[in-house]
Amino acid sequence: MKKQDLYFDRPLKYSAEEWKARQDLACMYRIFDHLNWDESIYNHISLRVPGEPDHFLINPFGLHYSEVRASNLVKIDIDGNIIGDSDWPINPAGFTFHSAIHKQVPDGHCIMHVHTTPTLAVCCLEEGLSFTNFYSAQLYNQIAYHDFEGITVRMDEGERIVASSEGKKVLLLKNHGPVIIGADLPQAFSLMWLLNRACEVQLASQSMGKTLDIPDEVLQRCARDTPLFNPKYGSGRDAVAALERLIEKKDPSYKY
């Protein structure tokens, strides 16, 4: 084992900025694992490399989220070419729409896609997300939808996914699962957490009977007052920092 594997020192082949991004992204994969948001070896979180707008980092296809580390994340360009060396391939289904978003959305620095049971279930509902609870109210007028086209391995669908997002940060792929387009990791995570909780409450409440409506003006106020769409107000940085401390105590191996 190399010395750089024994310590958390930055390997010389990475800039300080890229290494910090790698550590942050690897920690986020461990957070997803902790929250049971993993899907075997599938699904993906990607993060643009600081100072390299045409390059982004994504998980090595074949590893569980609990195995992702800063050094084994795969760096690719927007055409899907691996930059540098990697012992692992990438998931074509992840590259297809991640690359299109990173290429066409200037502030789309972090993209997350999951298949958690509540979010996928709501994506299968004809009505989609129902704005009838505290969490979903904060997403009012912030949800876009994309019709199901099968497994996302065709490059032309990536273009349609970007078009379907209509500039919004929360996109629900019908019959499939959510895509979050964040300005950074904390914002993307916070929106995913908010959406997941909204879907959990929706499924629980609808199973018990008719849900209460929320007046339109109240929904608009909730969406306006939530800090999650504005990095100026933190976009969930404190919550992410708390989870990072938890992962640090649990298993700091993500850092190397």
Kind and range of the H or E run holding 172: strand 170-173
Q: What is the pLDDT along the chain (256 residues), one digit of tens a residue?
A: 344 444 457 888 999 999 999 999 999 999 999 999 999 999 999 999 999 999 999 999 999 999 999 999 999 999 989 999 999 999 988 788 999 999 999 999 999 999 999 999 999 999 999 999 999 999 999 999 999 999 998 999 999 999 999 999 999 999 999 999 999 999 999 999 999 999 999 999 999 999 999 999 999 999 999 877 666 777 789 999 999 999 999 999 999 9
Contact between 179 and 111 (Cβ < 8 Å): yes
Tokens of 234: 């933190």
DSSP state of 150: S
Contact between 74 and 82 (Cβ < 8 Å): yes
pTM equals: 0.93
Distance CA 236, CA 194 (A): 10
CA angle 227/165/207 to nearest 5° reads 70
Number of Cβ within 10 Å of residue 156's Cβ equals: 10
| CATH fold for domain 3-255 | L-fuculose-1-phosphate Aldolase (3.40.225)
Contact between 240 and 186 (Cβ < 8 Å): yes
Number of Cβ within 10 Å of residue 225's Cβ equals: 9
List the strands of the sheet with 74-77, edge to edge.
74-77, 52-58, 44-49, 110-113, 177-182, 170-173, 143-146
Cβ neighbors of 211 (< 8 A, separation 6 or more) are: 130, 132, 133, 202, 205
